[in-house]
Chains A and B, each alone.
Chain A
Amino acid sequence: KQEVTQIPAALSVPEGENLVLNCSFTDSAIYNLQWFRQDPGKGLTSLLLIQSSQREQTSGRLNASLDKSSGRSTLYIAASQPGDSATYLCAVYNNNDMRFGAGTRLTVKP
């Protein structure tokens, strides 16, 4: 059974810092891995999707990496801003089954 873990559960940083969020998964047989952002009371917004054959994806200040062999992914956020405050979830997808981590709640202080 696939299990997805995100560490830390919560993170608070001052504005402008670069930061890394971690995601680990137990079964390396995945089609893709996604990072999502969730704002309070809202649904999930897909930030980055890394296919199983890829090592990383970039979008603006976000960079996500994937190491299937070690069962790890990281989301790097450069020059953090207060607007980045949200919960970030990672999810691995295989055979119509998407498993989510519990998320990291990020607070960026002005």
Chain B
Amino acid sequence: NAGVTQTPKFRVLKTGQSMTLLCAQDMNHEYMYWYRQDPGMGLRLIHYSVGEGTTAKGEVPDGYNVSRLKKQNFLLGLESAAPSQTSVYFCASCDPMRGTSNQPQHFGDGTRLSIL
């Protein structure tokens, strides 16, 4: 059981380049999230999805796009990378409610992205 898998693990881009980060989960979770983590700060929510074919903006969505074409995958795109997007990106998934219990989010190991 792999849980949440993020690819790639590391990437260096030049300003203006584009790329897509992939998140895959094998737990059949409905909800998926993309966060960024910067030094000295907590994680901040970029975008999230509450089910296949749906996406919504989080706290810091500008400069990013997402897609959820399949339930198990959540893609994060940078159309024109900027140095301010240098960060560690985390994907998470959960089923928010199971019975009467809130369920925890499960996280991937992160993608370390540097924009030069």
How many chain A residues touch B (Cβ–Cβ < 8 Å)?
24
Q: Mark A81-110, 1 if CB is under 8 A from B, else 0.
A: 000000001010100111111110000000
Contacts of B50 in A (CB 8 A): 96
Residue in B58, B107, B109, B110 whose beta carbon sits within 8 Å of that of A97 in the complex: B58
B residues within 8 Å of A by Cβ? 4, 31, 33, 40-45, 48, 50, 56, 58-59, 90, 92, 101-110
Q: How many A-B residue pairs have CB under 8 A?
A: 56
Residue in B43, B48, B106 whose beta carbon sits within 8 Å of that of A46 in the complex: B106
Bound Cα distance A32, B58 (Å): 18
Bound Cα distance A97, B105 (Å): 12
Q: Mark A22-47, 1 if CB is under 8 A from B, else 0.
A: 00000000011010100001111110
Starting from the known contacts A41-B110, A43-B110, A100-B44, 4 additional A-B residue pairs (CB-CB under 8 Å) come to A34-B104, A42-B110, A91-B43, A100-B42
| B56 with A96: CB separation less than 8 A | yes
| A96 with B42: CB separation less than 8 A | no
Contact flag A45-B107 (CB < 8 Å), given A51-B102, A96-B48, A98-B33: yes
Q: Can you report 6 A-B residue pairs in the complex whose CB atoms are below 8 A from each other? A: A42-B110, A43-B109, A49-B104, A98-B43, A99-B59, A101-B42
Contacts of A97 in B (CB 8 A): 45, 58-59
| A44 with B90: CB separation less than 8 A | yes
Bound Cα distance A55, B10 (Å): 40
Q: Closest residue of chain B to A36, judged by CB? A: B107
Q: Closest residue of chain B to A48, judged by CB? A: B104
| B42 with A46: CB separation less than 8 A | no
| B108 with A46: CB separation less than 8 A | no
Contacts of B48 in A (CB 8 A): 96
| B102 with A4: CB separation less than 8 A | no
| A103 with B42: CB separation less than 8 A | yes
Contacts of A89 in B (CB 8 A): 42-43
Contacts of B42 in A (CB 8 A): 4, 89, 91, 99-103
